[in-house]
Structure 1
Amino acid sequence: MLLCLLAPGCGAGDRTNDGGRAAMDMQEAADRADDILDQVLREIKPEVQWAHGPTSTGRCDVSRMRVVMTVISEERRGSLLGIVDRFWRKNGYRIKAVNKDVDLPAIYAQTSDGFGVTLSVGGKGQAFFEVDSPCVEESEVAEATASPNGPSYEGVYPLPRPNVRSDFWSLGAP
């Protein structure tokens, strides 16, 4: 509790913007997170196939996830992280940390409006994009409405390991 009160963007005192109007609610934050995810996935060429990961809500925050179903080979992980890093920097995101682990690399960034964004690569070359909101007004949160560009895996949890091969992303040669 004390950490939340000391953290920027968390706590009752931060629930209004400079104009005194109520800040966004959890649904608006979820919509913003979806927009952030849509933008970065559109930037990746050739396209990767993705499915929705879980949406989670806390006391005053919401998180959305997209799970990449395309196998990202060890040799192509640096390319994926480079595309995403350049896109986030170009759009004014602050890169907070980069994990350069060969097997499980990740990039952690923050948007100018306080949303945390992460790209992490997990087991079997599966990439995960996650967006976490700053503290917002509590509200109901609907499921994401964007249609995945492959199977939706609706009702399947956990999602399967990556199972889509790409002539580029899954290739073992640099």
Structure 2
Amino acid sequence: MRRLLGCVLLAVALIGCDAAREKPEMDMQQAGERAEGILDGTMAAIRPPVGWSYGNPSDTACSTGLNEPTGTTTVFRSRKIDTVVSGQRRGELLKQVREYWEQRGARDFTVDSGEGMPRIRARTADGFAVILQVGSIGNVFIEAGISCVEDSEMTYPRDTPGVPGSSVKPEGLPRKYSAHWSETAPH
């Protein structure tokens, strides 16, 4: 959970909260649906497919900097890859995701090739931050979100952990094995 919060805070810093914006272009529900669409497309683009689960969603109220509410909220959704991705296959995974995002018009890429914990970040044409990050234990998270959209009620996909009514408990370690992604040496 601390790792996810850290990723969200990093993402908020990446995209910045424009509290001065008079009329947000979308509300929280629309932002959540758009983020889910980005994530669904990203997961479908990975070949061969990987197992995944919903990550804890995040929403953080935007303020003027003086803790005065603005009526807007930053919304993030995430996916956790449940398939073990070996260290030798991580570069391939990052390349596939980056190529998919580029094909969809993402720009402003930042790549951190840090040993063992690589990360890529970008911004979609409609202002969403997209992030793929590998954790210290090899767990892989993909996130999409946008800052300071109009406050509204939100719904979530079934099996989303951390939301009212959900009984799903996320696991920290990937546990599914793949003849492709989990093997230690690429062909």
Aligned length: 157
5 Å-filtered alignment, 1:4-153, equals: 10-16=18-24, 23-59=25-61, 60-145=73-158
Q: How far off is 1:121 after superposition?
A: 0.8
Taking the aligned partners of 2:157 and 2:185, their CA distance within structure 1 comes to: 36
The answer as to whether partners of 1:9 and 1:114 remain within 8 angstroms in 2 is: no
SS, match of residue 141 in structure 1 = coil
Match of 1:122, as an amino acid? G
Taking the aligned partners of 1:43 and 1:146, their CA distance within structure 2 comes to: 22
More deviation, 41-50/126-135? 126-135
Q: Which has the higher strand share?
A: 2
Taking the aligned partners of 1:40 and 1:146, their CA distance within structure 2 comes to: 19
The answer as to whether partners of 1:61 and 1:132 remain within 8 angstroms in 2 is: yes
* Percentage of identical aligned residues: 37
Q: Which residue of 1 aligns with 2:67?
A: none
Q: How far off is 1:131 after superposition?
A: 0.8
Q: How far off is 1:111 after superposition?
A: 0.4
The TM-score, its normalising length taken from structure 1, stands at: 0.82
* Long gaps (5+) in structure 1: 17-22, 148-152
* Long gaps (5+) in structure 2: 1-11, 62-72, 161-165
More deviation, 120-129/105-114? 120-129
Q: How far off is 1:96 after superposition?
A: 2.8
The TM-score, its normalising length taken from structure 2, stands at: 0.77
